[in-house]
Amino acid sequence: TLRMRVPSLLVLLFCFRGSAGPSPHFLQQPEDLVVLLGEEARLPCALGAYWGLVQWTKSGLALGGQRDLPGWSRYWISGNAANGQHDLHIRPVELEDEASYECQATQAGLRSRPAQLHVLVPPEAPQVLGGPSVSLVAGVPANLTCRSHGDARPTPELLWFRDGVRLDGTTFHQTLLKEGTPGSVESTLTLTPFSHDDGATLVCRARSQALPAGRDTAITLSLQYPPEVTLSASPHTVQEGEKVIFLCQATAQPPVTGYRWAKGGSPVLGARGPRLEVVADASFLTEPVSCEVSNAVGSANRSTALDVLFGPILQAKPEPVSVDLGEDASFSCAWRGNPLPRVTWTRRGGAQVLGSGATLRLPSVEPEDAGDYVCRAEPGLSGLGGGAAEARLTVNAPPVVTALHSAPAFLRGPARLQCLVFASPAPDAVVWSWDEGFLEAGSQGRFLVETFPAPESRGGLGPGLISVLHISGTQESDFSRSFNCSARNRLGEGGARASLGRRASASFSEQKNPMRIPRSSDGSSSRGPEEEETGSREDRGPIVHTDHSDLVLEEEGTLETKDPTNGYYKVRGVSVSLSLGEAPGGGLFLPPPSPLGPPGTPTFYDFNPHLGMVSPGRLYRARAGYLTTPHPRAFTSYIKPTSFGPPDLAPGTPPFPYAAFPIPSHPRLQTHV
């Protein structure tokens, strides 16, 4: 009877306590949980004031009321039931365990809030296409692809690293399966490798919430690259003529296949291999030596120029300059050398430095500035090179006319006046004028004008002309009047006055005597007057008869010659061709006798006091029908010449050395021309 009463008492007690104590409630409810695949999941549940049946549901499906949950081998309930503890355990967690779970007190009608179980799947190690050693070409852009496969949850992030430093320049791409679940993800790294990247290690890392540290896959870069060249010269600074060795060193993958040497862009014939030996000269300063190295990938070129020390070399000569009076003039010349040469300007024959540098400027030139200017560079450190180059400055100005000395003449004898004309530009005309007339060329009555060029110009003053006024049968008025020699060009006119001196002697005889012109190789008489008069007939050449005298001529070309400038230039053996014909005045025109020595001595004019010039050679040659050499004895009549022969200079004999003429000094130039 007692055993029958115990259950009844328990029911009564329960009812009493239920009506009098607290109602069942949750002391702890499950919360959302994230767990890694393969690990253990624990969802807590605690009830108070409840000793009835407790069960768990998975997405609404009851797992059972027993604590070992038969049928769910990986599931169980733990805790002290008397204390109301009913925790759900899952181990190991699989993807199918991802669901919503509730803890229920069925007899009290209580349900916990749903707790979501999330199962994370760590990513697998990614794969780099082409790894573990990826072959690239230096300098060529390339893409490296890293790919992650599997059911990783969540989708992993793919990152690139080098030496622990994250690399930029990546793109991300995800591929989905048909069911919409992630299939694979890819990350592409774009880079342009260089030769120094050869052997570098790159890491692709797959990282997610399931595996924050991530999983790495490393690759090694294997680069193919064209040669990297280093070119050296030993020694680099050399004197011209010294030996230099060039060494061409290169690193390349694959190995070097060939070398090519060039200088200034032109191949060096016969040069092979990484070494070149040369003898340095000035060209190596401006024409670099280059070495080109090749392999299967490509080629590379390096060049270097030597520092060659050499003396000055003239590159551009100064050019002659012609300017009008008062204008500016400039000269330029170019020298090259290493080190750069010092260039100075002087006037020829002078020591004063007028300027330095490549250009000389002369402002507002005057006639005295005319002359030759010298551009000079001193030799280099080696003592080689250097030199000078010159150019002439011609100042265009009105003509400069100088009356030359004329020998005194006999009354009714022949006479000659001369003037020297320098002009640039050349004169349009040279005119002789006197009281009752003027004459530019040809003959007029007793007068004849002859003009011929001087062989050299007077430094920078332009070409020279000699104009000769011949007078046949002088009259008293000729000795008292003035003769003017004038010349003009586009810049003006210049002139000089000349007068005729009278020889204090008897007037010319009208007798008709034979006269011999002596034979001499140097133009002087080889016999005295006595021998001249008493020589044998066989000794004499043919006699030429005129109205007043006979001339005994020897072979043509051996006649004694006389200076057409009337002896102004100390001329010996110069002749002027005159026609041997009858003129209105009759007779033959000849120059006056020598002012030095008695008649019959060799014709020799010495005007050293005037010009200090040396003797020129033969100027005009004899022609048939012309008398080229006057005798010291003159004739009073004049025959107009019809033509004059061209210059005939003896071999090796200089022409008129007009360069010896003095010119006025100039404050700018301490020299002479």
What is the pLDDT, as a whole number, of residue 175?
A: 64
Note the pLDDT tens digit of each residue in 387-442: 899 999 999 989 999 999 889 999 999 999 999 998 888 898 899 999 888 998 88
Strand (E) or helix (H) holding 465? strand 464-471
- Whether 543 is in a domain gets the answer no
Do 138 and 241 fall into the same domain? yes
- Whether 510 is in a domain gets the answer no
Q: Are 43 and 91 in contact (CB under 8 A)?
A: no
What is the pLDDT, as a whole number, of residue 100?
A: 95
- Whether 632 is in a domain gets the answer no
Q: Are 419 and 496 in contact (CB under 8 A)?
A: yes
* Res 641 pLDDT > 60: no
Average pLDDT, the chain: 74
* Res 209 pLDDT > 90: no
Do 139 and 267 fall into the same domain? yes
Q: How confident is the model at residue 334 (pLDDT cuts 50, 70, 90)?
A: very high
What is the pLDDT, as a whole number, of residue 367?
A: 87
Last residue of a domain, one of 499, 528, 550: 499
* Res 592 pLDDT > 90: no
- Whether 613 is in a domain gets the answer no
Domain holding 363: CATH number?
2.60.40.10
Last residue of a domain, one of 70, 91, 120: 120
Strand (E) or helix (H) holding 315? strand 307-316
Torsions phi, psi for 229 (to 5 deg): -110, 140
Do 323 and 280 fall into the same domain? no
Note the pLDDT tens digit of each residue in 47-91: 999 988 999 999 999 998 888 999 899 999 999 988 999 999 999
- Whether 20 is in a domain gets the answer no
Do 404 and 374 fall into the same domain? no
Pairing of strands 157-162, 482-489: unpaired
- Whether 330 is in a domain gets the answer yes
Note the pLDDT tens digit of each residue in 225-252: 889 999 999 999 998 889 999 999 999 8
User: Over the range 648-671, which residues count as b (16 or more CB within 10 Å of their CB) and which as e?
Assistant: beeeeeeebbbeebebeebeebeb
Do 128 and 271 fall into the same domain? yes
What is the pLDDT, as a whole number, of residue 12?
A: 43
- Whether 80 is in a domain gets the answer yes
What is the pLDDT, as a whole number, of residue 182?
A: 57
What is the pLDDT, as a whole number, of residue 462?
A: 63
* Res 253 pLDDT > 60: yes
Single out the residue of 589, 585, 305, 647 nearest to residue 445, CA to CA.
585
Radius of gyration of the chain measured on its C-alpha atoms: 63
**Which token pair is 63?**
């797992």
- The structural domain count of the chain equals 4
Q: Cα separation of 46 and 84, whole Å?
A: 5
Do 298 and 339 fall into the same domain? no
Do 223 and 193 fall into the same domain? yes
Q: Cα separation of 651 and 653, whole Å?
A: 5
What is the pLDDT, as a whole number, of residue 220?
A: 94
Do 367 and 287 fall into the same domain? no
Mean pLDDT of the 654-668 span: 36
Q: Are 342 and 355 in contact (CB under 8 A)?
A: no
What is the pLDDT, as a whole number, of residue 9?
A: 42
Residues sharing a CB contact under 8 Å with residue 138, sequence separation 6 or more, in sequence order: 193, 194, 195, 197, 198, 223, 224, 225, 226, 297
User: What CA–CA distances, in Å, run from 542 to 500, 514, 545, 553?
Assistant: 35, 10, 10, 5
Of 164 and 180, the one with more pLDDT: 164
Identify the weakest region by mean pLDDT among 30-34, 316-320, 479-483, 669-673. 669-673
Note the pLDDT tens digit of each residue in 112-133: 999 999 999 998 899 999 989 9
Mean pLDDT of the 558-570 span: 37
Q: How confident is the model at residue 203 (pLDDT cuts 50, 70, 90)?
A: very high
Do 170 and 262 fall into the same domain? yes
**Most confident region among 207-211, 289-293, 462-466, 533-537 by mean pLDDT:** 289-293
pTM above 0.85, yes or no: no
- Whether 644 is in a domain gets the answer no
Q: How confident is the model at residue 564 (pLDDT cuts 50, 70, 90)?
A: very low
Last residue of a domain, one of 305, 339, 357: 305
For residue 406, what are the domain limits? 397-499
Question: Count of alpha carbons within 13 Å of 174, Cβ hemisphere only?
Answer: 14
Cβ neighbours, 10 Å, residue 370: 29
Single out the residue of 233, 250, 264 nearest to residue 294, CA to CA.
250
Do 354 and 410 fall into the same domain? no
Q: What residues form DSSP beta bridges with 77?
A: 88
* Res 539 pLDDT > 60: no
Cβ neighbours, 10 Å, residue 167: 16
Note the pLDDT tens digit of each residue in 80-94: 988 999 999 999 999
Do 258 and 329 fall into the same domain? no
Do 234 and 142 fall into the same domain? yes
